[in-house]
Amino acid sequence: MFVAVRERGRLHHLELWLADDGSWAWLLGRLGYTVGSRWDTGCSWVNGDAYIVIESGPDHVRGGHDRMRTGLNHLALWAGSPAEVDAVVAEAAGHGWTLLFPDRHPHAGGPGTYAAYLENAAGFEVELVADAG
């Protein structure tokens, strides 16, 4: 069977093991992801040809996440126009996300960037990047 070679290095999928997916479910849905499949211990969220799995199965060792330790620091996702980033930020607190670096928002990544850095109660950080132009 022949499988077309995708653009080398592009994200295929990301799997996050989490104790609670509530804040993630809202965020991923808000960014245009849709549920691809569900099972007893998780679900996959699909956007185009990539997907994010949120899982909390029996092998999941529970504990806090520290983005400053070895491992995932943050996940960066395209979030549309600057106005769309602002709209997500305006809703985020009501869904378990806190704006990081509010004194430098939306240019915390530097003067040439427009992004929001959000953190949920479990300590996971997501960077929502606006399209240029």
- Give the tens place of pLDDT for each residue, 17-30: 888 768 999 999 99
Judge residue 58's burial from the number of C-beta atoms within 10 Å of its C-beta, 0-12 exposed, 13-18 middle, 19 or more buried.
Answer: exposed
Q: What is the pLDDT of residues 50-59, one digit of tens each?
A: 999 999 888 8
Residue 16 predicted with pLDDT over 70: yes
d(CA 73, CA 91): 23
Residues 100-120 have a mean pLDDT of 95
Return the SS3 of 43.
Answer: strand
Is residue 27 within 8 Å of 79, Cβ to Cβ? Answer: no
Is residue 130 within 8 Å of 77, Cβ to Cβ? Answer: no
13-58+65-129 under CATH 3.10.180.10, yes or no: yes
d(CA 104, CA 70): 26
pTM of the model: 0.86
Domain ranges for the chain, please list them: 13-58+65-129
> What's 81's DSSP letter?
S
